């Protein structure tokens, strides 16, 4: 699958794109919100997109400015009903597209009319206006309808292009997948190689479509595979300058360190935690996935299994960040820093890409990767 959104990287096409009629076996009914279920079941974003016949002219979230009238589609990332100090109901929303997310509010009249008609993870058609509140842009919603309801009421749909609404990796997913399988195949220990390859191949579609996180880093379709590959690439050559490291153990841990996220989250289009994700977290879930696979193949010695499990449950470094134990082996220490490096660099790059502030520096943010502004001006060697 070629990188989603690559075709539109240079801007929004003004020519509508014709898509085939939706496949009723993949998209039952006439609604336009089923695509999230298809991805949650392991289908690729491209398969979802091919079933949608809607083009769209769209102002990206990253291009929104104060005082704009908005009439377009968004993905609902968050929805919560609140009350003002006077007891009036309002909706607190986060609406997103592939470029980022914007907080939104629907006041009492709109809340009473539309609150029950859509949910988190739905694609919606929104009418409203942008404004600045406490130095941050937000969208005041006048109306918000799930796409199929808007189409039924209006008799037509102004356009819908999934590529514009769902953030996705910019890399070729199939090439990344081939590379991660090649790295797994390079593990010399046959039991570790079999375990690692099995856990990749048994969950292929989830590895390819899931984000690495809900927010902060690699938080887009395909982000889990991208992040895993970044960590595994670096892990594969550490032994060349630190021969005391067990390459097989570190590489297996690098590839599988976030395997628990395959159970921790659901619905990669609008990801949220599952019940077991909330209660256990991906470090312990990953440990359990590895333990179950080791039982099935019954050829991995107990010591190697325990050392691999330690890499998984300690890779967040500190208990306050979710680690069950602090890293206690060379391999677990290496994995902790490699994982953190990939996450922090991706978060910083995303901040730079999405920042619309004029000048050479981004706006100040507390995190990630820390309280600072980031330089986004010309690099050495760039034409001035």
Longest dimension (CA), the chain: 68
Map out the domains of the chain as residue ranges. Answer: 6-165, 173-346
| pLDDT in the model for residue 366 | 62
265 vs 201: CA distance, rounded Å: 19
Mean pLDDT of 14-34: 32
Taking only Cα atoms into account, the Rg of the chain, rounded to an integer number of angstroms, comes to: 22
In the predicted structure, residue 232 carries a pLDDT above the cut 90? yes
Name which of 42, 96, 47 is nearest 72 in CA terms.
96
Give the position of tokens 């949608």: 52
Higher-pLDDT residue of 52 and 370 is: 370
Higher-pLDDT residue of 33 and 59 is: 59
Question: Does the domain formed by 173-346 have CATH 1.10.287?
Answer: no
Mean pLDDT of 177-196: 98
31 vs 124: CA distance, rounded Å: 11
Band of pLDDT at residue 57, cut at 50, 70 and 90: low
Domains 6-165 and 173-346 share a fold: no
Do residues 45 and 91 make contact, with C-beta atoms less than 8 angstroms apart?
Answer: no
Name the strand (E) or helix (H) holding 95. Answer: strand 89-97
Name which of 66, 182, 73, 62 is nearest 118 in CA terms.
73
Name the strand (E) or helix (H) holding 313. Answer: helix 302-314
pTM of the model: 0.74
pLDDT in tens, 283-313: 999 999 999 999 999 899 999 999 999 999 9
Cis peptide before 145 (omega within 30 of 0): no
Mean pLDDT of 153-169: 69
Within 13 Å, how many C-alpha atoms sit on residue 10's CB side? 3
* Range in 18-27, 62-71, 371-380 the model is least confident about: 18-27
As a whole number, the mean pLDDT across the chain is: 82
84 vs 312: CA distance, rounded Å: 44
60 three-state secondary structure: coil
Do residues 49 and 24 make contact, with C-beta atoms less than 8 angstroms apart?
Answer: no
pLDDT in tens, 326-335: 999 999 999 9
Instruction: Please state, in angstroms and as integers, the Cα–Cα distance from residue 327 to each residue in 212, 233, 287, 337, following that order.
Output: 21, 20, 15, 10
In the predicted structure, residue 40 carries a pLDDT above the cut 70? no
59 vs 204: CA distance, rounded Å: 34
97 vs 176: CA distance, rounded Å: 24
| pLDDT in the model for residue 267 | 83
pLDDT in tens, 78-130: 899 999 999 999 999 999 988 888 999 999 999 999 999 999 888 999 999 99
In the predicted structure, residue 136 carries a pLDDT above the cut 90? no
Please give the CATH superfamily to which domain 6-165 belongs: Nucleic acid-binding proteins (2.40.50.140)
Mean pLDDT of 231-241: 94
Beta partners for residue 361, in sequence order? 375
| pLDDT in the model for residue 148 | 75
| pLDDT in the model for residue 348 | 87
């Amino acid at each position: 699958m070629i990188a989603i959104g690559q075709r539109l990287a240079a801007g929004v096409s003004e020519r509508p794109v014709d898509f085939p009629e939706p496949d009723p076996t993949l998209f039952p009914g006439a609604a336009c919100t089923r695509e999230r279920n298809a991805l949650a079941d392991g289908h690729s974003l491209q398969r979802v997109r091919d079933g949608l016949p809607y083009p769209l002219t769209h102002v990206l979230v990253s291009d929104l400015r104060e005082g704009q009238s908005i009439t377009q589609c968004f993905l609902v990332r968050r929805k919560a009903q609140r009350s003002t100090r006077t007891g009036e109901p309002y909706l607190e929303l986060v609406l997103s597209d592939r470029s980022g997310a914007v907080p939104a509010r629907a006041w009492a009249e709109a809340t009473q009319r539309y609150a029950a008609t859509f949910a988190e993870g739905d694609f919606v058609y929104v009418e409203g206006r942008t404004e600045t509140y406490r130095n941050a842009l937000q969208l005041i919603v006048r109306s918000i309808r799930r796409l199929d309801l808007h189409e039924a009421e209006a008799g037509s749909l102004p356009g819908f292009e999934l590529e514009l609404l769902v953030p996705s990796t910019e890399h070729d997913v199939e090439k990344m997948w081939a590379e991660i399988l090649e790295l797994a195949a390079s593990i010399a220990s046959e039991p570790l190689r079999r375990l690692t390859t099995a856990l990749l191949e048994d969950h292929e579609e989830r590895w390819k479509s899931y984000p690495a996180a809900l927010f902060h880093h690699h938080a887009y379709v395909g982000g889990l595979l991208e992040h895993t590959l970044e960590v595994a690439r670096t892990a594969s050559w550490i032994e060349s300058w630190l021969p005391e490291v067990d390459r097989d153990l570190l590489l297996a841990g690098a590839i599988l360190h976030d395997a628990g996220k395959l159970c921790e989250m659901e619905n990669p289009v609008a990801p949220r935690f599952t019940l077991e994700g909330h209660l256990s977290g991906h470090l312990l879930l990953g440990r359990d996935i590895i333990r179950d696979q080791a039982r099935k193949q019954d050829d991995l010695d107990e010591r190697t299994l325990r050392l691999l499990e330690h890499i998984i449950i300690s890779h967040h470094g500190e208990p306050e960040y979710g680690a069950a134990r602090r890293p206690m082996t060379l391999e677990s220490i290496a994995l902790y820093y490699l994982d953190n490096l990939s996450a922090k660099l991706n978060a910083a790059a995303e901040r730079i890409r999405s920042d619309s502030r004029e000048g050479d520096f981004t706006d100040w943010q507390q995190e990630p990767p820390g309280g600072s502004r980031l330089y986004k001006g010309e690099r050495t060697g760039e034409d001035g």
